[in-house]
Structure 1
Amino acid sequence: MNAFFDQVYFNNSVRSYVAVGTTILIVVLFKKYIAHYLALAIFKVLKIRWKNIDFPAFRSLAAKPLGLFIAVLITVTALDKLRLPSELEFSLYKVTFRDLLRMTGTFMIIFTFFQFVIKMIDFVMLMVQGIYMKDQAQQGTHQLIFFFKDLIKVLVALIGLLFILKYTFSYDIKGLLTGLSIVGAAVALALKESLENLIASFIIFFDRPFATGDAVKLNAVSGVVEKIGLRSTRIRSDDKSYITVPNKQMVDSVLDNQSSRVQRRAELKLEVSSSTSAGAIEKLLSGIREILGGEDILSSSAFVTGITANAILINCEYITGANARAYNIIRERNTLKILSLMEQLHIATAQSVSDIKIIRDEGEVPEPLRHDTGPR
């Protein structure tokens, strides 16, 4: 039996052929199970750091490319143990068949490895996207996650291409990297504004000064953010027009995120007729303070701030923690209650007056007349 296995065909013994063939057969038949248990081992390591990892999703994305990489790696390693027959020692366009086999094996190993890395990136981004989608305060951020995923995958693919050029074709990539850096600098100068807006979108993504659905005010623009893009932010203005603002301006300018406001202040200024008695004013102030002492009011004040020739000035202020819609309802309700209180106390608002002089014929004394221009 040993004599049979020791027989040599094409520079290799039967024993070598059997060992290599058995190894490749085992890997092909059990590739699925090998990939499953390797993926499970990687999953347990990742589970130590991230508790919310979903194993079925991880297995569906990582198991197949991982199994392919392991199969290619073991197959190429096993075939490398065989000696090349003398019949195959020939050159093809100055490239020997031996070098061609080496290049093919190296290419397959690098290609399948980076394919596995790209699938792992898909899984990581899927997990990050799930975290952001669960958080209602961070809705709309996932559109930048898609960009990050594609950008990282392109960078990984470029690195894989450089590895293939370096280790498969023995190409000196130093000159290529130098040329790429020069081209990159030229492109960066040509696309300066676009790159500034792109970097600003990253700042918005990480710093989160606002999110989709927030009501914002920026210089002369105010409205609701509908979309945060890579170059610009789209705002639906109060006039229902669609405004596009560059991301750089959204980051560099003073922005008021009105949706993040925790308190809102309301002010009501009254001008009461100067003929109103002090007792009626005191009753009015007491009633206003009672109206502004509701449960939805955090703090309030009502004071007489001045007296003019025809009016007594009263300033009312109050702060509420309600949202924008409830704030408008509260302000309207309090204003109507104060008006109703003034009607009950028979207190009128001040009327605007002006003096009119009528010039008569010589010898007659001008008589000043008071003309009421305000509403009755």
Structure 2
Amino acid sequence: MNTKELLNQQFFGNTVGQYMLCGIVLLVGFFLRRLLSRIVSKLIYRLTKKYTAGVSEQQLSALLIKPLSVVLFLVTLFLAFNILDYPTQVSEIDHNEPWLKKIAFRLYQIGVITSMAWVVLRLIDFAELVYRRRAEFKTNVNTRLDAQFIPFAKDFVKVLILIFAFLVILGQVFAVNVTALIGGLGIGGLAVAFAAKESLENLIASFTIFLDRPFQVGELVTVGGITGTVEKIGFRSTRLRTAEKSYVTVPNRSMIDKPLDNLSLRTSRRVNFTLNFSHETTRAQLLAIVAELGEYLRQQPSVVPEEVQIKLAALTQNGRDLSVQFFLQVANYDEYLDVKEQVNYHILEVVEAQGATFASNTTVVHMSPWAGMNPNDAAGSGSII
């Protein structure tokens, strides 16, 4: 048997030559899919290079290589298996299409639509990366707020793409009348809307947050008794990182319904405390402490000099109270604590230099030597002496 006769041998309705050609196409497509994916990725990068804002080609390739490889391999499968002939079921002869080929082609269609949606989702990730990189080089408020909106918009667009891909699969693969299906969901959709009332309220609240902009990612806020730094604003909730490093999820509806204090937007932070001096501290010592401490605070770059107030607030039975109040123009909480610490150390230095003493909370009770004794016993004792 020569080569030609061997290639013409038939098995399951196909010749050996057809099987060999199908295998060759599969092997070529399998081994070249990553190379072709890199070529396509490089072409896309060159077309969008002037808009990428410093994002490297490697970052784009890392996002696109896998989905593009799947798409190219599916194209290879289509070209390879289209070479073969498929058995025909008797009940489907009138349709002029083999039943096995129909099933394989539907699976192929699902794979292509899914992989193409995957590619689009990765392109959206790349667009977000480019926008974030641009925001790093700009410091104006609008740019930072827009950069905050991008993760939310990315997730929203991804959901729309997935829904669109699902509808395309229903319409193209399973021949479902998508328009009639959507129209038939009117009453059912209303019922779902009532069932998901809270979720819809949170979704609408998320749009309100981005339009009204009461806060942004990275700012310190207090809402509903919870204080934390905003880390992410999602569809349903906002994530806060508290001072205890816990991760608190607050529904977006609560973020707009409850009073919200944006601590990061304060022009300054108030520092207010009272120094309790003993009665042994003289008037001259108090005046010297007030003068030195006031001069020190007004010279600090982060202190508002016009807002420094140091007053003798009260004279009590425990001592003399000196009220100290000033405002710090610092946004960072750690810096706020550092300045307070420096002020406290300077207060100790001034008090020690003036020889003043702080009041003690210990209450001294002076008791009679006859305390606790019967008066008659006390009198009797006196008579004995």
Shorter-chain TM-score range:
0.5 to 0.7
Aligned in 2, Cα 1:63/1:307: closer, same or farther, shift over 3 Å?
closer
Q: Which residue of 1 aligns with 2:169?
A: 161
Q: Which residue of 2 aligns with 1:7?
A: none
CA distance in 1 between counterparts of 2:241 and 2:353 reads 44
1:98 aligns to what SS in structure 2?
coil
Aligned in 2, Cα 1:60/1:223: closer, same or farther, shift over 3 Å?
closer
Matches within 5 A, 1:13-52: 28=26, 30-31=28-29, 32=32, 37-51=39-53, 52=55
Does the 8 Å contact 1:300/1:316 carry over to 2?
no
Answering whether residue 227 of structure 2 is matched by residue 218 of structure 1, we say no
Q: Which residue of 2 aligns with 1:172?
A: 177
Structure 2 residue corresponding to 1:288, chosen from 267, 290, 293: 293
Does the 8 Å contact 2:220/2:227 carry over to 1?
yes
1:216 aligns to what SS in structure 2?
strand
- Deviation, structure 1 residue 149: 8.0
The alignment of Structure 1 onto Structure 2 pairs a total of residues equal to 320
Does the 8 Å contact 2:171/2:177 carry over to 1?
no
Structure 1 residue corresponding to 2:256, chosen from 246, 251, 257: 251
- Deviation, structure 1 residue 192: 0.9
CA distance in 2 between counterparts of 1:266 and 1:255 reads 22
1:321 aligns to what SS in structure 2?
coil
CA distance in 2 between counterparts of 1:239 and 1:47 reads 44
Aligned in 2, Cα 1:95/1:200: closer, same or farther, shift over 3 Å?
farther
Q: Which residue of 2 aligns with 1:11?
A: none
Q: Which has the higher helix share?
A: 2
Q: Which residue of 1 aligns with 2:96?
A: 97
Matches within 5 A, 1:1-376: 28=26, 30-31=28-29, 32=32, 37-51=39-53, 52=55, 53=57, 54-71=59-76, 92=91, 96-98=95-97, 107=106, 110-124=109-123, 126-127=125-126, 151-152=159-160, 154-165=162-173, 170-201=175-206, 209-211=215-217, 215-223=220-228, 231-233=236-238, 245-258=250-263, 263-268=268-273, 283-301=288-306, 302=308, 316-321=325-330, 323-335=332-344, 337-338=346-347, 341=350, 344-345=353-354
1:92 aligns to what SS in structure 2?
helix
CA distance in 2 between counterparts of 1:109 and 1:319 reads 66
Q: Return the letter of the residue paired with 2:179.
A: K
- Deviation, structure 1 residue 196: 1.9
Q: Identity of counterpart residues, as a percentage?
A: 24
CA distance in 1 between counterparts of 2:150 and 2:60 reads 22
Does the 8 Å contact 1:197/1:248 carry over to 2?
yes
Q: Which has the higher strand share?
A: 1
CA distance in 2 between counterparts of 1:39 and 1:288 reads 66
Does the 8 Å contact 1:210/1:257 carry over to 2?
no
Residues 217-226 or 94-103, more deviating: 94-103
Does the 8 Å contact 2:299/2:305 carry over to 1?
no
CA distance in 2 between counterparts of 1:193 and 1:341 reads 59
Aligned in 2, Cα 1:170/1:282: closer, same or farther, shift over 3 Å?
closer
Residues 97-106 or 65-74, more deviating: 97-106
For structure 1, the residue ranges without an aligned partner over 5 or more in a row are: 1-16, 351-376
Q: Return the letter of the residue paired with 1:41.
A: L
* TM, length-normalised to structure 1: 0.59
For structure 2, the residue ranges without an aligned partner over 5 or more in a row are: 1-14, 137-143, 360-385
- Deviation, structure 1 residue 74: 5.5
Aligned in 2, Cα 1:210/1:346: closer, same or farther, shift over 3 Å?
same
- Aligned-residue CA RMSD (Å): 5.6
- Deviation, structure 1 residue 249: 0.7
- Deviation, structure 1 residue 187: 0.8
* TM, length-normalised to structure 2: 0.57
Does the 8 Å contact 2:148/2:216 carry over to 1?
no
CA distance in 2 between counterparts of 1:130 and 1:348 reads 60
Aligned in 2, Cα 1:62/1:291: closer, same or farther, shift over 3 Å?
same
Q: Which residue of 1 aligns with 2:381?
A: none
CA distance in 1 between counterparts of 2:77 and 2:48 reads 25
CA distance in 2 between counterparts of 1:235 and 1:70 reads 46
Does the 8 Å contact 1:285/1:303 carry over to 2?
no
